[in-house]
Amino acid sequence: MASVAHVIEEELHRWDREIVWHAFSQMAEYDGLIVESAQGSWLTLVDGKKLLDGVSSLWCNVHGHRHPTIDAAIRDQLDQVAHVTSLGLSHPTTIRLAKRLTELAPIGLNHVFFSSDGSSAVEVALKLAFQYWRQCEVPEPERSLFLAVGSAYHGDTIGSVSVGGISRFHAMFAPLLFHVRHGPMPDTFRRPIDVPDDELGEFYLSEYEAILAEEGTRIAAIIAEPIVQGAAGMVVHPKGFLSGLRRLADEYGTMLIVDEIATGMGRTGRMFACDWEQVAPDLMCLGKGLSGGYLPIAATLANDRIWNAFLGEYAHSKSFFHGHTYGGNPLAAAAALGCLKVFEEERTLEQLPDKISRLGQVLEPLRNHPKVGHVRQVGLMAAIELVQDRRTNAPYPWSERRGVRACQVAIQHGVWLRPLGNVMVIMPPLNISDEDIELIGQAVKAGVDAATS
């Protein structure tokens, strides 16, 4: 006879398949895992099985699950108040978080607008840039066009999809989107073969410059994921591309929005990817790891130039008429402050170089695999791209689900991974142990072998 626990588990799985509508999932065939609890880098499923969280619960768990410092920060906050609206009220925890972010962020980003998810942080950045040109000291209302970088992913709301460029996700909604100029993907893997490495950045930048020149004074802002384009398949930009965009934005009198939602919070080895090239954007979006992967909170940071354009007499209606009910929620802000405290107490960024090179070492043998076209890594963001043919780098048709199959095998080997098409993504918590990095290497190898044989 089936045990009570087993019956309950079966029922949960059935409800999960029939009632819960999962993100980015085909519900006709859905049969996902159910996590009951977690500790550090490890998830425990309802059937007791343990899996290593190889993608940090979709790129956001920074210091592992149930970190005592973040847990305590949330509990302490609960003893004060869980929620305070940001419409006319405030709370010390939220204020402290804003102050701390301005201290850590690239220079000049002195103001913080909170929201609850990355897509909203991007919407806020777009709307702030748009409104800025209508009410800055010398208005340029013709600047209403955005220039997006490559096949970007900035979220799933209509504005963030408009500046996105991943056709499999976004093409369906084309009639709903506003017009955006999309520049080429500054890819260091799928790239023109006749351009040497050290000229690749300038090569792509010249194409961006051509668009800026052609559009004249119509560009409100350039928006970019810095250094690594996440959902596009962990595409790595050439060195100098980000700082080149900053230079072009200045030369053409426009602004730069940087979306650090995936790359921020230590993921690339520095606190922010912008720090690698000393870039200070006009607007910067944070989300995902901001709360250590605990609670939904996102932020759009702005410089004084933008902030000042929104100041004025009440009757002039220069305010930013935008807000989210839970924006700046103190419980989520407490988690974020807890996350930043762990960075300090555990010197997370100083520990990272060892972990980054360890991950590089375990993935190294895959570079020679006959069906691996590319192994790329920036910090603790890594990707293995499966190809049909290494000479041409011809991709497998996405409908063959090679990446999914590889990840299913990795799961059988104890590591939870979620692919992007033919790309296996590896993004463990920043404090992952060396032993667990080894396990990732073994599981990825087993997955690649099985999915390509």
Residues that bind ligand PMP (CB under 6 A): 117-119, 122, 153-155, 225, 230-231, 259, 261-262, 287
> CA-CA distance, 256 to 159, in Å (whole number)?
17
433 HSE (CA, 13 A, CB side) = 8
Q: With both helix axes pointing from N to C terminus, report the angle between 68-78 and 330-345 in degrees, rounded to the nearest 10.
A: 150
Q: Residue 233 Cβ, how far from ligand PMP at the closest point, in Å?
A: 12
Nearer to ligand PMP, 297 or 363 (CB): 297
Nearer to ligand PMP, 273 or 372 (CB): 273
Q: Which stretches of 174-312 are DSSP H helices?
A: 197-215, 241-251, 304-309
Nearer to ligand PMP, 59 or 396 (CB): 59
Q: Residue 391 Cβ, how far from ligand PMP at the closest point, in Å?
A: 32
Nearer to ligand PMP, 119 or 348 (CB): 119
Strand partners, 37: 44
Q: Give the amino acid at 292.
A: G
Task: Kindly report the backbone phi and psi dihedral angles of residue 113, in degrees, each rounded to the nearest multiple of 5, phi listed first.
Answer: -110, 120
CB neighbour list of residue 115: distance below 8 Å, 6 or more residues apart: 121, 123, 124, 297, 298, 299, 300, 324, 327
Q: Residue 121 Cβ, how far from ligand PMP at the closest point, in Å?
A: 7
Nearer to ligand PMP, 119 or 329 (CB): 119
Question: How many other C-beta atoms can be found within 10 angstroms of the C-beta atom of residue 52?
Answer: 25
The residue at minimum Cβ distance from ligand PMP is 118
Q: Residue 178 Cβ, how far from ligand PMP at the closest point, in Å?
A: 17
The answer to whether the beta carbons of residues 91 and 330 sit under 8 Å apart is yes
SS3 state of residue 22: coil
Q: Residue 366 Cβ, how far from ligand PMP at the closest point, in Å?
A: 24
Nearer to ligand PMP, 219 or 299 (CB): 299
Q: Give the amino acid at 311.
A: L
Q: Residue 453 Cβ, how far from ligand PMP at the closest point, in Å?
A: 31
